[in-house]
Amino acid sequence: MKKIKILLGLAAAIAGITSFGVTQASASSYTVIKTKTYTQSPVYHAKSTTKNVYLWNKSHTKKLHNLKNYPNTSWALRASVTMKHNGSNAIYYSVMSYTPTHKKTPVYGYVWHNYLTKGYNRHYSHWNNLYLRGFTSDSDYLNYIKQSPSQSLTNKVLQLFPNSQLSLNLSHYVENRDALLDLKTESNTFNKSYRDPILLTNVNQLFYHGYKDTRTESQRFQAIEKALDAAGYTASKRASLKDYQIGIYYQNAPLKDVDGYTVGLILAKPAN
């Protein structure tokens, strides 16, 4: 009996040592060897909203969140981290969540980079008043305009130019206040990509949604259409602009960092 107790004690001790060794190996199995941080966080979304994809802690020892439970969430890239595991390197993204309502506390974690892809979460019917930086193509931006509740006016204005193609790149000139102002005085950068710009200040001012602005969307649209007609861009003239691309940006809520120069539209011909 004494021998049995001794053997059991040895077995327990060995098991304890083994268990401790496994825990230590797991904790040290992922080693950070390189980190790249970002001052302006790129936007990503999950490639799949149905698969189990986990956010881990930095040591890769604990699952924090399942991306499947965040079907409408976009992820801001905070850092790109190269981790070494079993002799191989893998790139993980340190990310922070942000949701359509912005009311939930953000979640953080590390996820293997190939589980994410660039751009906003594509469920645009849940999103409003997004900035342009997270769109990846003309068609991506157009889908947002067609689906987002905040972009009903934008969609209506685009239909006033039935033969002009939407350009995400040109839209950046509208959202970027300095670039739009420079267009009036310094056009070297703009002329590398475009020519014959049409910039109607009186029209663009009608896009601005001030804090005390009580106009309905219908009233705003009618005012924009009337201003276009008054500037000589009647329905027939607008329809003739088939060689032009159109850049447009609008937010339907009064935000502190949006002024009269960051909303509106511009048309131009591609330089090539």
Domain residue limits, the chain:
32-118, 124-270
Condensed to tens digits (0 to 9), the pLDDT of residues 134-175 reads 999 999 999 999 999 999 999 999 999 999 999 999 999 898
Class of domain 32-118: mainly beta
Instruction: Put the strands of the sheet holding 194-198 in their side by side order.
Output: 165-166, 245-249, 264-270, 194-198
- Give the DSSP per-residue string, 101-142: SS-SPP-EEEEEGGGEEESS-S-GGG--S--GGG--SHHHHH
Q: Which residues of the chain have pLDDT under 50?
A: 1-27
With a CB cutoff of 8 Å and minimum separation 6, the contacts of 97 are 70, 73, 74, 75, 76, 104, 106, 107, 108
- pTM for this prediction: 0.84
Residue type, 34: K
**Exposed / middle / buried, residue 186 (Cβ in 10 Å: 0-12, 13-18, 19+):** exposed
Confidence (pLDDT) at 255: 59
What is the dihedral sign for C-alpha 168, 173, 177, 179? Answer: positive
Report yes or no: 203 and 224 within 8 Å, Cβ to Cβ: yes
Pairing, β 63-66 against β 54-56: antiparallel
What confidence tens digit (pLDDT) does each residue in 112-145 have?
999 999 999 999 999 999 999 999 999 999 999 9
